[in-house]
Amino acid sequence: MSASPVARIVRRLRRGASVFAQGWRQHISVPLAAAADRIYRFFYGVGIATMRSFRRRGRRLARVLAPVGRALFRAADRVLLVRLRAVKAEFARLGAGFALVGTRARQAFSRGFFAGLAFVCSLPYLAVRRHGKAIRAVGNVLLPAAAAVALLVTVRYWSSLTFALELEYQGRSIGYIADETVFTAAADLVENKVVNTGDSFVLERVPKLTVAVVSKAEILDETSLCDRLMDAMGNSISAGAGLYINDDFVGAAEDSEQLSRLVTETLAARRDGSGEDFASFVDDVQLRDGLYPSASFLPLSTLEAYIGQLDVQVSRLIVYDESIAFSKKTVKDKTKYLGYSHVKTKGVNGTCRYTAQVVYLNGEQVSKTVLTSEITQEPVTQVTVIGAMTYNDSTVAGDGVATGRFIWPVPYTKNITSYFGARWGSTHYGIDISAGGVNGKPILAADGGKVIAVNTSGWGGGWGNYVLIDHGNGYKTRYAHCKSVVVKVGQKVAQGELIAYVGSTGDSTGPHLHFEVLLNEKRVNPLPYLQAK
């Protein structure tokens, strides 16, 4: 007999341990080799003891289970094998019976047709009498099986049915639900779908429920029940588009396309058609599709009138030109006396082209933002040459020669505070020249001539400090209310030469120059004689 697998494993372990021990004896000291040998013997003994123990237990188990096996075989023989042998014998008798029936049928029909017919009709009785025991045995088996099948079919049928609640809403049967929570969930879905503006939509929350037995396929979930509830509501809600202004509901329209077109046309009417502008409502205008209560729907004309009153903002891109003012430049010429002025280069305004975003509110401009700018024509600076030479600057003394024209006597300002003519119930026989900061500014000879009168006493008959110059040909000029005088009687002065400083002496209300022109001893309006340059 070949060794068992366990024995073979033990032998292999033993040989491996022996080889291992020999290697240790050759390379390790004797004490370590002895220790290895003792470890091997220990594990070997444990393996042998374990194997023997399994063998003893196996033999004991076989002795215990042998009677049980024999008893099970005898029970199977009594219950099943005996019946199988009986069935086999019954099938043999059934086969022999068919042969016997054939023989007896031929004998009966040989006696006559009716005799044969009577034999055929008696066959069921004869079969029951001959095979009654087998029929009863089959019946004992088939009837319980049929009953079990009938019970199974009945159980499966009733298990396919379940108790449910029939829901009646507003006098109309809606369907079947498992419990009331399904209706509550479906009602919540309906209320979430309907835009309940002004609380005009009310969903009945107390339906009529009746217990019923139905198939599971007939029970509705909350989604299906939601659809049926909405169908049951009929005309109380409708699909449409709602108009909202700043999230406030205004009204709903059945035709969402018409309402959208109305909003678009209202904005388009404010545009100029250039394609460079954009129109929008100042308020937040929104159209929201949904289900709305019938009471919230308004005529389109009403919604149109409401939309027409909203403020519309138009942002438009425009291009325009603006003038650039020319700058002014003054060049002093020391070969010309103070008061001389001549435009050497005439100033010309430039042009700048701007692109801007302009915002209009209901047609009125409210803001403008320049996006780009481009100078299309540069401005030309105006250059004016003015005299800068005084008498003291000139290498040639004033010769008193008149030019025949008068220049402006106060270079600091050309502002006139009082004109020639009627004033305060009397006649003002000159012009007053004054401005802020004029006090102490130079006064120039309007033309060349000879100083024939000077007053430095401060009063001078009301004129204060003054200078009177004779220009010849009957023309004289007077300079009154001077702060101080720098010329003397008999002195010849040239046009533009410094003769005094602006002050407020004599009968004066403030610093200014009272300037007069006399023609043949008659005081005339100085303005026509002054040539401002």
Over its C-alpha atoms, the chain yields an Rg (Å, rounded) of: 67
In a domain, 120, yes or no: no
Helix then strand then coil, % of the chain, to nearest 5: 40, 35, 25
Considering the domain architecture, whether residues 12 and 32 belong to the same structural domain is answered as yes
Query: Which of the residue ranges 50-54, 240-244, 509-513 would you say has the lowest mean pLDDT?
Result: 50-54
Higher pLDDT, 15 or 518: 518
Residue 287's domain spans which residues?
Answer: 157-310
Q: Tell whether 378 and 439 lie within a shared domain.
A: no
Say what the alpha-carbon torsion angle 334, 336, 342, 347 is, to the nearest 10 degrees: 0
Mean pLDDT score, 22-31: 55
Average pLDDT over residues 334-344: 71
Specify whether the CB–CB gap between 303 and 251 falls below 8 A. yes
Residue 188 has pLDDT above 70, yes or no: yes
SS3 sequence, 280-299? Answer: EECCCEEEEEEEEEHHHECC
Q: In terms of pLDDT, which residue wins out, 519 or 135?
A: 519
| Same domain, residue pair 81 and 194 | no
Helix (H, G, I), strand (E, B) or coil at 448: coil
What does the pLDDT read at residue 37? 66
Asked if 428 and 488 sit in the same domain, the reply is yes
Whether residues 78 and 190 share a domain: the answer is no
Question: Can you give the pLDDT at residue 482?
Answer: 96
Same domain assignment for residues 460 and 344: no
Number of domains forming the structure of the chain: 4
Lowest mean pLDDT among 193-202, 239-248, 277-286: 193-202
- The reply to whether 505 falls in a domain is yes
Pair of tokens at residue 416: 């006139």
Domain co-membership, 369 together with 430: no
Mean pLDDT confidence for 324-328: 92
- Give the residue-averaged pLDDT of 489-514: 93
Give the CA angle between residues 502, 503, 509 to the nearest 5°: 125
Q: Yes or no: say if 444 and 498 are a contact pair by the CB < 8 Å rule.
A: yes
DSSP designation for 109? H
Question: pLDDT grade, residue 393 (50/70/90)?
Answer: very low
Q: With respect to residue 263, please indicate whether it lies within any of the assigned structural domains.
A: yes
**Residue 39 pLDDT exceeds 80:** no
In a domain, 143, yes or no: no
User: Do residue 286 and residue 345 come from a single domain?
Assistant: no
Burial of residue 517 (CB within 10 Å: 0-12, 13-18, 19+) is buried
The mean per-residue pLDDT over the stretch 73-100 comes to 66
* Domain-terminating residue out of 94, 111, 144: 94
Q: Is residue 105 part of a domain?
A: no
My answer on whether 217 and 298 are in the same domain is: yes
- List the one residue out of 130, 121, 61, 123 whose CA is nearest residue 90: 130
Q: Assign 198 a pLDDT band (cuts: 50, 70, 90).
A: low
Is 288 in the same domain as 258? yes
Contact 446, 403 (CB under 8 A): no
CATH of the domain at 361: 2.20.230.10
Sheet holding 364-377, edge to edge: 277-281, 312-324, 350-361, 364-377
Of 334, 338, 524, the closest CA to residue 446 belongs to 338
pLDDT at 421 over 80: yes
In a domain, 106, yes or no: no
147-156, 237-246, 285-294: the lowest-pLDDT one: 147-156
Q: Rounded distance, CA 71 to CA 78, Å?
A: 11
For residue 408, what are the contacts with CB-CB under 8 A and spacing of at least 6?
Answer: 339, 341, 414, 446, 530, 532, 533
Two tokens at 232? 């049951």
| CA-to-CA separations, 98 to 89, 102, 189, in angstroms, rounded | 15, 6, 75
Average pLDDT of every residue of the chain:
80
pLDDT score for 394: 43
Q: Give the confidence band of 181 by pLDDT, cuts at 50, 70, 90.
A: confident
Q: Which domain-ending residue is among 72, 94, 116?
A: 94
d(CA 280, CA 367): 15
> Looking at the structure, do residues 198 and 274 belong to the same domain, yes or no?
yes
455: amino acid identity, one letter: N
Which of 3-12, 111-120, 168-177, 524-533 has the weakest average pLDDT?
Answer: 3-12
Per-residue pLDDT band at 396 (split at 50, 70, 90): very low
The most distant pair of C-alpha atoms in the chain lies apart, rounded to whole Å, by: 199
Closest by CA position to 279, among listed 230, 312, 310, 237: 312
Res. 256: pLDDT tops 60:
yes
Q: Are residues 422 and 503 in the same domain?
A: yes
Residue 167, C-beta contacts closer than 8 angstroms, at least 6 positions apart: 173, 174, 175, 176, 177, 183, 207, 208, 209, 225
Kindly state whether residue 125 falls inside one of the protein's structural domains.
Answer: no
Q: Which of 167-181, 213-227, 341-355, 477-491 has the highest mean pLDDT?
A: 477-491
**Is residue 246 within 8 Å of 281, Cβ to Cβ?**
no
Domain boundary among 356, 384, 412: 384
Q: Answer yes or no: is 126 within a domain.
A: no
